[in-house]
Structure 1
Amino acid sequence: MTPLYPAIKDLVLVGGGHAHALVLRMWAMDPLPGTRLTLVNPDPVAPYTGMLPGLVAGHYRRDELMIDLVRLARFAGARLILDRATGLDPAARRVRLEGRPPLDYDLCSIDVGITSDLPGLPGVEHAVAAKPMAAYAAAWEAFVARRLAFPRVVILGAGLGGVELALASRHRLAAQGARPEVVLIDRETRLLPGLGASARRKMLARLEAGGITLRTGVEVVGIGPSSVTLAGGEEVGSDFTLTVAGARPQGWLAGTGLEQAQGFLVTDACLRTSDARVFAAGDCATVAGAARPKAGVFAVRAAPVLQANLRAALSGGKLRRFLPQRDYLKLVALGPQEAVADKWGLSLAGGRLWRLKDRIDRAFMERLSDLPAMAREAVPAAATEGLAAHLARRPLCGGCGAKLGPGVLGAALAGLPAPQRPEVLSGPGDDAAVLKAGEGVQVLTTDHLRAFCNDPRLMARLTALHALGDIWAMGARPQAALAQVVLPPLGPELQARMLGEIMAEAVATFGAAGADVVGGHSTEGAELTIGFTVTGLGGRVIGKGGARPGDALVLTKPLGSGTVLAAEMALARLPGQLMGEAWVACVAQMERGQGDAAAILAPEARAMTDVTGFGLAGHLLEMLEASGVAAEVSLEAVPFLPGTVALARAGQGSSLQPANLAAASWRMTAPVDPRVDLLSDPQTCGGLLAAVPEAAAAGLVRALRAMGHDAARIGRVTEGAPHLTVV
């Protein structure tokens, strides 16, 4: 949606911790006009740590405890940058990132959590750290899948988290019929000092009943692939070693110059660090004079204060104070669906406590996942007939999904004359115009994309790759590009930041492809739109015509980007999966340039095109029309992006897909199958589709896969009038 007010300041949230996740939720409900919100996090999802023991014990699926930051950022209208922060320069007001140039901010907040590795311990690479949780969860599931009869688990750190995970591990392994040996090791002699005496007794009794061995007052001096070595030389056998001890702050915080205590950022009661333009919350921070245990409950309760104070700092309002409670209700999982409750020195245990914990945890996750969909524009009581039906269509997509339908475009281009000048060798109808250039040819194309995300650098890269697709599809070498940029409403400083990011990324992307950016044009409009006009040079031009009966059809990328982008823009859920991870997998495929794929295919291709706005079916039919042949495609052979078939089955799809299907369906024979709808899905930065001699197909696919392309032989060219048969 077009913002009502131009953004004039940048608020950057570094880290996707619990506090920031809740800030995003609250910001969405009441955004501050004039502020551009950005979230920086290395992963598209973040774990809710309160449900981790339940995941390890087998009570939850992974998707049930992962916070989908992609959906949350979309809901909040925030820019999402999937990268890892490596530093902060408060003087320059910049966040340093691992994989891209520094990011400017006017106000910053840090919520990056902690890590639980043991730096400097010999062989630590043979262990798994409990934090960050995502890697631990994946490693644990892989270990469980080995189904060892006598699995040995060693947990370094017998604090509350270590005890919970020991009980959960033992329960999970025993539940699948194994006879596990679980050992808890800690250098301290007094266990669970954060619990009351009654709760501590209950926990220790549960450890004893489960046969879990406690080794306290013991120093670990090394970790091997199948054992842990203790001081004195004793070795404890281990098939899975977990480190819960050694919880420490992220290393890069030490170089920020901000006040710290034992490596944690120190804040005042308003959650400000020693720099008034930098706030911090969660496990990475400590409130001066009110230090508390590193527990998620404090981050959750700090979130409303953090959100209010970020707004106040941006708008000149009064800051609020955060007063963390001295004690809180601790609900500690016991492995089975039972828990211990502890507060004020009193404790209870049993299944009812587990059900209470489960309700609290699920309510928290539902708060962050039950996001209202985009509001539809209301139709006035007095309106032109047909307006309601027009507005009832799917919301307009971004990327190639915003392209005009093939019927509209075909009608508009039908009256264009054939090229009149001798140097113009071909015009409308192919991927690019072909111009005579000395002894060779020059190809010329133009393309632009309506933004489907709020990251201008990512949009610039994808638009450049999308425009280059036409050059590569013709078998040409990229030469030069002109940029056309429409910026959304912004203040002058943010305009300069955004345009600088776009042009820097364009130069890098075209430069990697062997082309120069030689200029362009910019203007301000309703929303971000980026386009490029690109030229290329070549000798032999590969057009859409030339396919012969018997040729194999080779596709270099899986389908479904239009459906994934549309579903993400609509805040759709992906049952049993995470929409954010499907979106990231989609973007990763879109970022895969096709220059090396074109170089592999070009020597053998008789006809070639890139699969973009009209979908595989539409672009294949263009090839068949130009070649005077038919084709057969196997649904089982066509690759699809993760989650796309489930989304199509649920009715998700691009706003352009119905028009694409209508234009192709009368020339198609196909079964009723959601995958058939995906054949008309508009692709942004889609793959190449080539008709190649059958004898060369297998070798070409092998070469493409060796280069990292998810290529497949999807069908064959047949004799007959242009028609597509899907089997």
Structure 2
Amino acid sequence: MMPSPVPLSRDLVLVGGGHAHALVLRMWGMEPLPGARLTVIDPNPVAPYSGMLPGMVAGHYRQRDLEIDLVRLARFAGARLIVGAACGIDAGARRITLGDGREIGYDVASVDVGVHARMPGLPGFAEHGLAVKPLGPFAARWEAFVAEVAAGREAPGAAVIGGGIAGVEVALAMAHRLRQAAGRADVSLIERAPQIAPGGPVLRPRLMRALADMGVRVRTGARVAEVRSDAVLLEGGEAVPARLTVGAAGARAHEWLAQTGLPVTQDGFVRVAADMRVEGQDALFAVGDCAHLGHAPRPKAGVFAVRVAPVLRDNLRAVLCGGQTRAFRPQRDYLKLVSLGERRAVAEKLGIAFSGRLLWRWKDRIDRAFMDKFDPLPQMRAEPLPRLRALSGEVDDEPMCGGCGAKVAPEVLRGAIAGPGDDAAVIETGGVRQVLSTDHLRAFTEDHGLMARIAALHALGDIWAMGARPQAALVSVTLPRMSEALQARSMTEIMAGARAALAPAGAQIVGGHSSMGAEASIGFALTGIVEGEAITLAGGRPGDALILTRPIGSGTLLAADMRGVAEGRDIVALFNRLVEPQGDAAALLSGAHAMTDVTGFGLAGHLRNMCRESGVAAWIDPEAVPPMPGAEALAARGLRSTIWAANRRAAPVAGLGEGGRAALMHDPQTAGGLLAAVAAGEADALVARLREAGHGAARIGGIEDGVPGAVRCGAVAG
């Protein structure tokens, strides 16, 4: 995203990626508010569309068909996505607390965290039950269960607790899917009320017929006493056999909302006024299923979340700009479409019910139309390039990457600095041997705390690669132009993230420097203590094996994320990998003959530097090099980081060829793995120990006699 010509002055935070917030993000991307910094907080990289959940259970949709990619959507909206679970709101201090202890300040905020179907008060449910919401854990467990049934390793028996509309839909969908997998199904629907669908009397007769046709056994007036691994025990002693028990007994508010001090209903839903502001609050909104419309109570239905989105967007902008809000007036009645397991549905509106296959196709069209709003996202017109401009030479028009993808080309550095040098300088003072290094990253995420953690661990890689113990750190921060309030919030996030990475490694922050500029960047200067001799680039010996401690592909993934074409799950998986420290890996590799951390020059470039300094050649097996999830496919599509072409020119690999895996050999890495040359006889045992410690390590090649710096393709035996 290009820096805004208007300084950032107000923080808008969306807590949760529910339907209303997803639509607000889409609208914001098409018409952002200058000067407002938009943040979205959600525990997952995707947000599920609940309207398609029964179809997924029945096998008509894949899980990804009903997931909104929040990473991609946030990028489109110019928002920063913080992947974390909110657990508290201090409306007085205007601060949101996350489960990991982080705090995010706001000027205006909105809550859209949905509901859950967990049953904490029911004995055995936590151990043996499965809540239909949240979607992620439910979908994974359901698909695994169906696979076991299809393979004949599990009986097709299940029970659904809760006979409301949602429970009926899930029970019918499960019965249909299990019939497809095993040829039969044994599904029970358990409802404590005297009848199913207490809120849908008009639909009830048709739903009862559908359940009977699908062979679902209905138990009404039944109270559940306990959930066991193989049955649901009812009050009175009856045991309902079930190899999988699903909870769908109504929508429950998240417990933490009632602990915020905000006004809530007796069952924990946040009370809001007509303009969707929380009662008594002038800068806090709540929408979706977690909110209770005191002025116009309505059932928990996605249609209201969709209808409220334009009103919410307008009201958020109004409060940010000092304007007037407007009321949300939900319709009194709406079309209710209920799936019947197979590709049939029943509908009701104005007291009239009707059913058939045509209705399922209608529902499918409505659901897919909603999801089509987010994939693909609208193509926004880019600013035209100047008609008259200087010849570009080797400079292309693609946006510049963040992280190590923004490094200066290796041949340029080699011409300006004598030799590649080691990862850190070795200095000796008063008999104490230290290493000294500095590293600096252009931001690739606006989650400042996350970016600081990654930048710190990236810088620590130089210290660990030298076999040193981290000691002290200086922090260097550049922030885009923003108000003092936003500066304070940003610096708080950055310093908390930096300490979270440095303190466990033994490094203490002793000072630093800050400034404002065109964009955010974070850097660290570090010292470390060396016990004995430092591990350098120069110790590689012919016959050594090469070990890499981490998969590659971060540069490709970050380039794809910047262009809005990466999968959100892959980006979050990447970030989770990049915040894993490697001090323990360095300790395991302390006997290496030579070691470096793989960063901006890519695996081939850093291996070439090691070979030059050691006076040897090397071979590498691209098929043995593990890629980050999603990276190889993106590279095969032609996605490249800014410095990739320069890396390939600087470090050719004989016999490498083309293709996605080959391209990743030159991919610039941010917080990349350690590359170590070790005695061949120790390599396999070291890889095993690294993997046991949680590192994605692999034996990827070896050192050999030859032209210093030459690298060729080979094959790892085995």
TM norm. shorter chain > 0.5: yes
Letter in structure 1 aligned against 2:136: A
Q: Deviations over 1:153-187 (max 9, x none)?
A: 10000111111111111111111233110100000
2:670 equivalent in structure 1: 684
Give the whole-Å Cα distance in 2 for the aligned partners of 1:377 and 1:637.
43
Q: Does 1:516 align with 2:508?
A: yes
Q: Is the 8 A contact 1:371 1:571 kept in 2?
A: no
Alignment of 1:555-634 (within 5 A): 555-573=548-566, 579-602=567-590, 604-634=591-621
Alignment of 1:261-410 (within 5 A): 261-262=265-266, 263-274=268-279, 275-372=281-378, 378-386=384-392, 390-392=395-397, 394-410=398-414
The TM-score normalised by the length of structure 2 is 0.96
Alignment of 1:223-234 (within 5 A): 223-234=227-238
Give the 3-state SS of the residue equivalent to 1:541 in structure 2: coil
Give the whole-Å Cα distance in 1 for the aligned partners of 2:67 and 2:225.
34
Range moving further from structure 2, 164-173 or 345-354: 345-354
Letter in structure 1 aligned against 2:559: A
1:155 equivalent in structure 2: 160
Give the whole-Å Cα distance in 1 for the aligned partners of 2:357 and 2:640.
43
Q: Is the 8 A contact 2:4 2:35 kept in 1?
A: no
Letter in structure 1 aligned against 2:258: A
Give the C-alpha shift of residue 224 in structure 1.
0.4
1:698 equivalent in structure 2: 684
Q: Deviations over 1:369-396 (max 9, x none)?
A: 2224676553322222337x7343x321
Structure 2: segments with no counterpart, 5+ residues:
none
Give the 3-state SS of the residue equivalent to 1:725 in structure 2: strand
Give the whole-Å Cα distance in 1 for the aligned partners of 2:563 and 2:258.
40
Give the 3-state SS of the residue equivalent to 2:32 in structure 1: coil
1:75 equivalent in structure 2: 76
Q: 2:450 aligns with which of 435, 458, 465?
A: 458
Q: Is the 8 A contact 1:446 1:534 kept in 2?
A: yes
Q: Deviations over 1:517-556 (max 9, x none)?
A: 1111111100101111111110211111111111110000
Letter in structure 2 aligned against 1:380: P
1:549 equivalent in structure 2: 542
Give the C-alpha shift of residue 80 in structure 1.
1.3
Give the whole-Å Cα distance in 2 for the aligned partners of 1:166 and 1:713.
49
Give the C-alpha shift of residue 201 in structure 1.
2.2
Q: Deviations over 1:418-467 (max 9, x none)?
A: xxxxxxxxxx6111111123334211111100000111111111111111
Give the C-alpha shift of residue 196 in structure 1.
5.5
Q: 1:179 aligns with which of 157, 167, 184?
A: 184
Give the 3-state SS of the residue equivalent to 1:548 in structure 2: coil
Q: Is the 8 A contact 1:114 1:249 kept in 2?
A: yes
Aligned residues: 705
Give the whole-Å Cα distance in 1 for the aligned partners of 2:369 and 2:146.
28
Give the 3-state SS of the residue equivalent to 1:24 in structure 2: helix
2:85 equivalent in structure 1: 84
Give the 3-state SS of the residue equivalent to 2:109 in structure 1: strand
Letter in structure 2 aligned against 1:408: V
Q: Is the 8 A contact 1:196 1:343 kept in 2?
A: no
Give the whole-Å Cα distance in 1 for the aligned partners of 2:542 and 2:575.
35
Letter in structure 1 aligned against 2:548: L
Give the C-alpha shift of residue 246 in structure 1.
4.4
Give the C-alpha shift of residue 202 in structure 1.
2.0
Range moving further from structure 2, 628-637 or 457-466: 628-637
Q: Does 1:650 align with 2:637?
A: yes
Q: Is the 8 A contact 2:501 2:581 kept in 1?
A: no
2:261 equivalent in structure 1: 257
Give the whole-Å Cα distance in 2 for the aligned partners of 1:589 and 1:162.
38
Letter in structure 2 aligned against 1:572: V
Give the C-alpha shift of residue 192 in structure 1.
1.8
Alignment of 1:111-122 (within 5 A): 111-122=112-123
The TM-score normalised by the length of structure 1 is 0.95
Structure 1: segments with no counterpart, 5+ residues:
417-427, 574-578
Letter in structure 2 aligned against 1:718: E
Give the 3-state SS of the residue equivalent to 2:565 in structure 1: coil
Letter in structure 2 aligned against 1:296: G
Letter in structure 1 aligned against 2:705: E
2:139 equivalent in structure 1: 137
Letter in structure 2 aligned against 1:22: L
Give the whole-Å Cα distance in 2 for the aligned partners of 1:408 and 1:344.
73
Query: RMSD of aligned C-alpha atoms?
Result: 1.5
Give the C-alpha shift of residue 704 in structure 1.
1.0
